[in-house]
Structure 1
């Protein structure tokens, strides 16, 4: 299989065989990813803040 036939078959597959999602589905997925990322970042931030306070308290004992 040479490169030219590979490219032609790849283009044909992308045009005719791939099922592309519609725009509203992509919007909903993007919003879901953004919300999930914000929730996880807030959770990790709270855990980090708690750990920092715990370590500060622990080191202040000595």
Structure 2
């Protein structure tokens, strides 16, 4: 287990190409905006679906 952790840190140090600070910031903003837009889309679909189900159950009373 300890050997695995050592190899993992070695892999991160030597073989992973990390983005620059400005790239990291712009990608973070992009992910945040996408998350907000996606959550609003899910909320909209959920609201419409809830109203359709409510209308259906009111109709069959």
TM-score range relative to shorter protein: 0.7 to 0.9
Give the TM-score, by structure 2 length.
0.76
Equivalent residue in structure 2 for 1:30, among 10, 28, 31: 28
- Structural mapping, 1:8-19, within 5 Å: 10=10, 14=13, 16-19=14-17
**Match of residue 6 from structure 2:** 7
How far off is 1:10 after superposition? 1.4
Runs of 5+ consecutive residues of structure 1 not aligned to the other structure: none
How far off is 1:21 after superposition? 1.2
Runs of 4 or more above 4 Å deviation:
none
| Root mean square deviation of aligned Cα | 2.5
Equivalent residue in structure 2 for 1:45, among 43, 46, 59: 43
How far off is 1:17 after superposition? 4.2
How far off is 1:18 after superposition? 3.4
